[in-house]
Amino acid sequence: MTAAPILETTDLRKYFPITKGLAFSRVRGWIKAVDGVNFDISPGETFSLVGESGCGKTTTARIILRLEPPTSGAVRFRGQDIYALSGEELKAYRSSVQAVFQDPWSSMNPRMRIGPMVAEPLKYSSTMSPGDMKSRVAELLEQVGLEPAQANLYPHEFSGGQRQRIAVARALALKPSLVVLDEPVSALDVSIRAQIMNLLKDLQGQYGLSYLLIAHHLATVRYMSHRIAVMYVGKIVEMAETEELFSRPVHPYTQALISAALPARPGVERAEIILRGTVPSPVDLPPGCRFHPRCPQAHVRCSQGEPELREVSPGHYVCCDHC
The residues in 53-92 that bind Mg ion, with binding defined as CB under 5 A, are 58
Asked if 297 interacts with other proteins (CB under 8 A), we say: no
Among 12, 192, 229, 295, binds other proteins (CB under 8 A): 192
Min dist. Cβ of residue 56 to ligand ATP (A): 4
d(CA 222, CA 48): 9
Q: Does 160 bind Mg ion (CB under 5 A)?
A: yes
d(CA 230, CA 73): 19
Among 79, 160, 287, 305, binds ligand ATP (CB under 6 A): 160
- Which position among 76, 216, 286, 322 is part of the footprint of other proteins (CB under 8 A)? 216
- Selected from 131, 265, 276, 300, the binder of other proteins by CB under 8 A is 265
- Scan residues 129-148 and list those touching other proteins (CB under 8 A): 145-147
Looking from the CA of 312 toward its CB, the CA atoms found within 13 Å total 21
In the DSSP assignment, the letter for residue 55 is S
Q: Which of residues 40-79 bind ligand ATP (CB under 6 A)?
A: 53-59
8-27 residues in contact with other proteins (CB under 8 A) are: 16-17, 19, 22-25
Greatest C-alpha distance within the chain: 68
| Options 69-77, 92-100, 128-136, 252-260: segment touching other proteins (CB under 8 A) | 252-260
Radius of gyration of the chain (CA): 21
What values do phi and psi take at 37, rounded to 5?
-115, 130
Q: Least separation, in Å, of the C-beta of 296 and ligand ATP?
A: 23
Decide: helix, strand or coil at residue 6: coil
220 binding Mg ion? (CB under 5 A): no
104 binds ligand ATP (CB under 6 A): no
**What CA–CA distance (Å, rounded) separates 125 from 157?**
28
Residue 282 binds ligand ATP, judged by CB under 6 A: yes
* 51 lines the binding site for other proteins (CB under 8 A): yes
Of 20, 26, 111, 156, the one binding ligand ATP by CB under 6 A: 156
Of 82-90, 124-132, 156-164, 170-178, which segment contacts ligand ATP by CB under 6 A?
Answer: 156-164
If you count them, how many residues does the chain have? Answer: 323
Least Å distance, CB 55 to other proteins, is 8
Nearest Cα neighbor of 182 from 63, 73, 100 is 100
Q: Are 166 and 117 in contact (CB under 8 A)?
A: yes
- In angstroms, the CA 143 to CA 207 distance is 15
DSSP 8-class letter at 145: T
Containing 199, the helix (H) or strand (E) segment is helix 190-207
How many Å apart are CA 48 and CA 82, to the nearest integer?
21
Binding site for ligand ATP (CB under 6 A): 16, 31, 33, 53-59, 156-161, 189, 282
Binding site for Mg ion (CB under 5 A): 58, 160
